[in-house]
Amino acid sequence: MVRFHWRIVICALALWLVDALMSTVTVETEGNGVVGQVLIYLVIGLLLAVINSVVKPLAHILALPLYVLTLGLFALVTNALMLELVSWLSRKMGIGMYVDSFGSAILAGLALAIITALISIPFKERKPPPKVEVY
């Protein structure tokens, strides 16, 4: 459960960086204080973490032939679709996250995947080295 909390924080931080770096992805936070802005990013991070944990594996299974056919490049389309789904759900909840076009969703999904992978490196569980028994 603690790992899922970290995943929410990492997704929120990565989304904030994507919002800051790309003008085609915007999260409406005007009129809120700093705490309100952080909460908006955390709620969208929660949406993103839940979508990535529940819906994305199902999409991977359903699109397996396309992954094989495109040698894995279809993952960019899947990431973009998940980002569009999060954007749509956030607007339905009254939190404004907007992605301009599907092309920008593909670039934002790629940036989000790279940033999330880089941020999560310190939080990965380290396995202890295997014990070597000498006879």
Q: Which residue has the higher pLDDT, 1 or 65?
A: 65
The total number of structural domains in the chain stands at: 1
Say what the pLDDT of residue 31 is.
77
What's the mean pLDDT in 66-93?
93
Distances (CA, A) of 128 to 125, 132, 134: 9, 12, 18
In sequence order, the β-bridge partners of residue 113 are none
- Domain limits at 23? 2-123
Residue 108 lies in a domain: yes
Residue 10 lies in a domain: yes
Q: Which of 11-15, 37-41, 85-89, 129-133 has the lowest mean pLDDT?
A: 129-133
**15: pLDDT strictly greater than 90:** yes
Residue 28 lies in a domain: yes
Give residue-wise pLDDT tens across range 76-85: 999 999 999 9
What's the mean pLDDT in 112-118?
92
Say what the pLDDT of residue 2 is.
72
Say what the pLDDT of residue 127 is.
79
Residue 132 lies in a domain: no
Residue 37 lies in a domain: yes
Residue 76 lies in a domain: yes
In sequence order, the β-bridge partners of residue 98 are 26
**23: pLDDT strictly greater than 80:** yes
Number of continuous H segments (helices) and E segments (strands) in the chain: 5, 2
Residue 128 lies in a domain: no
Residue 7 lies in a domain: yes
Distances (CA, A) of 55 to 27, 69, 78, 132, 133: 22, 21, 10, 41, 44
CA nearest neighbour of 112 among 47, 25, 27: 25
